Amino acid sequence: MGRSPCCDENGLKKGPWTPEEDQKLVQYIQKHGHGSWRALPKLAGLNRCGKSCRLRWTNYLRPDIKRGKFSPEEEQTILHLHSILGNKWAAISTHLPGRTDNEIKN
């Protein structure tokens, strides 16, 4: 029972994203917002599952994502919050605007 994995549908692309796919996703979200991630791929003309689109946007394409090394202040914040929260990277990332939980964890 339960829900089947999202990307097991026939015909959905897996693997690395192409620049064209990135462009379609960015343009669609800039124009319409993301709304329902499940419905978005079809509306944006993408042959991907909603989860894949959500993760691509959240971790790579959002315009507010900071790239590069952490500042000394960010490192201190991470160490302090990790001592309190443990490995709750998503909770820690809420205190570091522009940084993703995955980026903080790694």
Say which CATH number the domain at 97 has. Answer: 1.10.10.60
Mark whether 56 and 86 lie in a shared domain: no
Taking residues 19-34, what's their average pLDDT?
96
Cβ proximity of 50 and 35 under 8 Å? no
Q: Can you tell me the distance from the alpha carbon of 7 to that of 38, in angstroms, rounded to the nearest whole number?
A: 11
User: What size, in residues, is the chain?
Assistant: 106
Domain residues for 80?
72-105
Q: Is the pTM of this model over 0.85?
A: no
Number of domains in the chain: 2
Confidence at residue 9, expressed as pLDDT on a 0 to 100 scale? 60
Mark whether 33 and 52 lie in a shared domain: yes
- Please check whether residue 19 lies inside any domain of the structure: yes
Confidence at residue 69, expressed as pLDDT on a 0 to 100 scale? 93
